[in-house]
Amino acid sequence: MRRNKSLSKTNGTDRLFDWFIYIYLILISIVTLYPFLNVLAISFNESIDTVRGGIHIWPRSFTLDNYIEIFKYDNLITGFINSTTRTIIGTILGVISSAMVAYTLSRADFQGRKLFSTIIVLTMYFSGGLIPGYMLIRDLGLINSYMVYILPGLVNAFNIIIVRSFIDGIPYALQESAKIDGANDFMIFWKIIMPLCKPVLATIALFVAVMHWNSWFDTYLYNSMNENLTTLQYELMKILQNTSVGSTDPNAMKGMTADQLKTFVSPESIKMAISVVTIVPILVVYPFVQKYFVQGMTLGAVKS
């Protein structure tokens, strides 16, 4: 009887703890999802009604006018194509380049590994600045060029460190045995290292893709005069700046005619619609790399 009572007490405690975990996870989920749902609700709500405030997770007056207003701009399709191709090409080349440098620095027989590793780490803390960077891009002939989106971000010091740490965890005996079988360094990298590094490569691929997709400042600096080289983020930034009314204050609508009120689009509504347009492509890609993300960060980032 005593044993049954102790078991029942234990089961009751476990059940109480499970309920506590469930409630805690539900609260965390609400806190995490609410900002996204709020942005989505405002983006689908009428601008005049948005100015009143009080919108939480559901649009009070549903409309697509905010998105229609965004897609009225002529250069948006060109910007979308350029951002998409930039993200794809930049991610592939960036991942391969960072992996090649990381593989070289991980080799124990590379005599300059410590020197070059130190130099690469220093670039994370020190840079030439905006003006020297612009002068370098100009002297390289990359102004008004599509390659200005690819070449400057081809190698990233942080990504190199992550990949190198991951490669250091791979037994060096695999490379030695491949050498005995007659494989050269390139074959070892491509046939052995790259397949084993899928988790960490998927991790840095997500980092690089997000960087390319969200980038607009390089377009502003180097390609703002060439409409054929514009990017989606740069065009959305211009839309936000050119919004008809610069304030969400309800007093801003005083004095407007009925026709003006019909076409009124608040900066808040445009901002939220732009956020949705920029976030959705990343949300579509993320599930495909999510299974590698945690494994890559755990195995790659915590090693010395």
Angle at 121 between CA 166 and CA 135, to 5 degrees: 125
Q: Are 106 and 164 in contact (CB under 8 A)?
A: yes
pLDDT of the chain along its 304 residues, tens only? 555 555 555 666 778 888 888 899 899 988 888 888 888 888 888 877 777 777 888 888 888 888 887 887 778 889 889 999 999 999 999 999 999 999 999 888 888 888 998 999 898 888 888 888 899 999 999 999 999 999 998 999 999 999 998 898 888 888 888 888 888 888 989 888 998 888 889 889 988 998 999 899 999 999 988 889 999 889 888 887 776 544 444 555 555 554 544 555 667 788 888 888 888 888 887 777 776 666 555 554 444 4
The Cα 147–Cα 130 span in angstroms is 18
Structure tokens at 296: 């890559």
